[in-house]
Amino acid sequence: MERPAWKFHARRIALVYCGFSSLWILLSDKAVFHMIPDSHKIEWINIAKGLFFVVVTSFLLWVMMRRMLGGLEQSQTELRESEHQVRTIYDAVNDGIVIVDPENGRVLGANLAACRMFKHPPEQIRKITIREISSGEEPYTFERGMELIGGTEKGERASVEWRCLRSDGSRFWAEVIGQITQLDREPRFLATVRDVTERHHAEQEIRESRARLRALITRLQETREVERTRISREVHDVLGQLLTGMKMNLNWLGRRINHLDPSCGTSELMGKLEETEALADSMIESVREISHDLRPGILDDLGLPAAIRFESDRFEKRTGIATRVTTSAEPLGVENPRATQMFRVFQEMLTNVARHSKATEVEIRLDRDNGDLILRVSDNGRGIKDGEAKSGGSLGLMGMSERATLLGGRFHIERGESGGTMATLTLPEYPG
């Protein structure tokens, strides 16, 4: 650190003063008496010596004080300029800056942006407390504000969205970030205040829009399930009955043809009839499959656990992948439409296993844990990559995640500890 110039000059002046003081001692009365025996002359020499010493001392003190006071005045000028620069920056900041006494919540200072934000003149804002600039609505009260300020005494930084009050009674949302700091050797709460009303309204509109969109999606899914149920019943009942009637007619024709004379070519007719009967059987089985894919009747008749077991058996027959299903012995109490949405997620889980896992075994578990309903599908396949699990870019993963969100739950997929992939659907007992 550079030493102040006035201290350097003060040292020189002190040395000069010591020199003159030493000279004065040497020219004391005793020394003068030995050199000048005339007492009259000695008296005048002492007077001149004293006057000379006073003049020199006064001059030296004047020089030293002048330099010291000049340096002090320069420091004060620089301090005033620095304070002016800080104040200019303080008032030029777009965000509001507020200084609060953490003991009583009184506002000790605020920049022009804060004054404009709260619509208080600078001389008035220093006379209020945070009670006058808080909306007072729960939880945006004076007491809660003091709790937040008090919590920052441990060195923590407070960051909160606060409902604020202007002097004209209007309210606005503000983002407040602050902490306790030392100003003039006293603890003060220094906070920046940013008006985020527009952002808050935009976020609220987005949340409401998402809620409306999810309600619409839920309604569309419910409507689709109703339509699937109707089509499934019509396909199963109407087409199934027609095909069954056609098969009965074919059987009747077959019995009649057997009574005809073989010379009339009945063997060829019987071959065609048998081929047609096999085709009818295949059509009946296809109708059953289509009806089940549209809406599994077992889900409505026997519930979710039975539907999962039945779907697992169909999956094993169709793909050759062994499945093992474990369900809770206690009733799960899953009603529609939650049961339907869970079943659709389960179907998508099995579809992913068949398409991507290259697995030979699948373990399925449906149970409750601390009230939450958990459906977990694990396989011994190649395992999902971390990037694939985190990105969620697959339409299937997105669909399952969205269904879980609509049900108030969550969907998670990850690589198993011993390999393979584990997909988990968790639904709360009482969705919010």
- Check which CATH number belongs to the domain holding 405 and give it: 3.30.565.10
pLDDT at 334 over 70: yes
- Alpha carbons within 13 angstroms on the beta-carbon side of residue 32 total 18
Give the closest residue to 311 by CA, choosing from 327, 333, 296, 330: 296
Span of 41-45, 133-137, 202-206 with lowest mean pLDDT = 41-45
pLDDT at 218 over 80: no
Q: Which pLDDT belongs to residue 174?
A: 92
Q: Is residue 31 part of a domain?
A: yes
Compute the distance between CA of residue 360 and CA of residue 95 in angstroms, rounded to an integer: 62
**Better-predicted residue by pLDDT, 303 or 57:** 303
Which pLDDT band, with edges at 50, 70 and 90, does 50 fall under?
low
The region, left, alpha or beta by phi > 0 then psi within -120 to 50, assigned to residue 402 is alpha
Span of 19-23, 98-102, 344-348 with lowest mean pLDDT = 19-23
**Same domain membership, residue 316 and residue 397:** yes
Tracing tokens 């077992």 back to the chain, one arrives at 298
Q: Which amino acid is at 287?
A: V
Compute the distance between CA of residue 363 and CA of residue 422 in angstroms, rounded to an integer: 9
**Better-predicted residue by pLDDT, 241 or 323:** 323
Distances (CA, A) of 125 to 30, 176, 226, 383, 427: 75, 17, 63, 63, 51
**Same domain membership, residue 122 and residue 80:** no
**Better-predicted residue by pLDDT, 1 or 110:** 110
Domain span holding position 348: 297-427
**Same domain membership, residue 267 and residue 303:** no
Across all residues in the chain, what is the average pLDDT? 78
pLDDT at 404 over 90: no
Span of 199-203, 323-327, 332-336, 352-356 with lowest mean pLDDT = 332-336
In Å, how far from its chain's centre is CA 69? 58
Which pLDDT band, with edges at 50, 70 and 90, does 59 fall under?
confident
Q: Which pLDDT belongs to residue 61?
A: 72
**Same domain membership, residue 162 and residue 264:** no
Q: Which pLDDT belongs to residue 10?
A: 57
Coil, strand, or helix at residue 78? Answer: helix
Which pLDDT band, with edges at 50, 70 and 90, does 165 fall under?
very high
pLDDT at 132 over 50: yes
**Same domain membership, residue 29 and residue 107:** no
Which pLDDT band, with edges at 50, 70 and 90, does 379 fall under?
very high
Written as six digits, the tokens of 361 are: 């075994």
- Alpha carbons within 13 angstroms on the beta-carbon side of residue 346 total 29
Which pLDDT band, with edges at 50, 70 and 90, does 19 fall under?
low
Q: Which pLDDT belongs to residue 323?
A: 94
Pick the last residue of a domain from 293, 323, 343: 293
pLDDT at 6 over 60: no
**Better-predicted residue by pLDDT, 406 or 5:** 406
**Same domain membership, residue 418 and residue 303:** yes
Give the containing element (helix H, strand E) for 191: strand 186-195
The domain total for the chain is 4
Q: Is residue 167 part of a domain?
A: yes
**Better-predicted residue by pLDDT, 4 or 21:** 21
Which pLDDT band, with edges at 50, 70 and 90, does 196 fall under?
very high
Span of 143-147, 351-355, 376-380, 428-432 with lowest mean pLDDT = 428-432
**Better-predicted residue by pLDDT, 370 or 422:** 422
Q: Is residue 382 part of a domain?
A: yes
Mean pLDDT to the nearest integer, 318-340? 83
Q: Which pLDDT belongs to residue 326?
A: 92
Q: Is residue 10 part of a domain?
A: yes
**Same domain membership, residue 122 and residue 184:** yes
Tracing tokens 């979710």 back to the chain, one arrives at 304
Q: Is residue 204 part of a domain?
A: no
**Better-predicted residue by pLDDT, 115 or 268:** 115
Written as six digits, the tokens of 129 are: 């407390």
Give percent of the chain above pLDDT 90.
16
Q: Which pLDDT belongs to residue 3?
A: 52
Give percent of the chain above pLDDT 70.
75
**Same domain membership, residue 104 and residue 86:** no
Q: Domain of 147: which CATH number?
A: 3.30.450.20
Q: Is residue 212 part of a domain?
A: no
Span of 52-66, 126-140, 295-309 with lowest mean pLDDT = 52-66
**Same domain membership, residue 391 and residue 315:** yes
Q: Which pLDDT belongs to residue 375?
A: 93
**Same domain membership, residue 258 and residue 147:** no
DSSP line for 273-316: HHHHHHHHHHHHHHHHHHHHHH--HHHHHH-HHHHHHHHHHHHH
Mean pLDDT to the nearest integer, 36-56? 65
Written as six digits, the tokens of 404 are: 């879980």
Which pLDDT band, with edges at 50, 70 and 90, does 1 fall under?
very low
Pick the last residue of a domain from 70, 91, 112: 91
Is the CA virtual torsion 109, 110, 111, 115 positive or negative?
negative
Q: Is residue 187 part of a domain?
A: yes
**Better-predicted residue by pLDDT, 139 or 214:** 139
In Å, how far from its chain's centre is CA 221? 30
Q: Is residue 240 part of a domain?
A: yes
**Same domain membership, residue 102 and residue 81:** no
Coil, strand, or helix at residue 79? Answer: helix
**Better-predicted residue by pLDDT, 215 or 421:** 421
Pick the last residue of a domain from 91, 123, 150: 91
pLDDT at 312 over 90: yes
pLDDT at 34 over 70: no
What's the order of all strands across the beta sheet hosting 421-427? 322-327, 361-369, 372-379, 421-427, 410-415
**Same domain membership, residue 169 and residue 69:** no
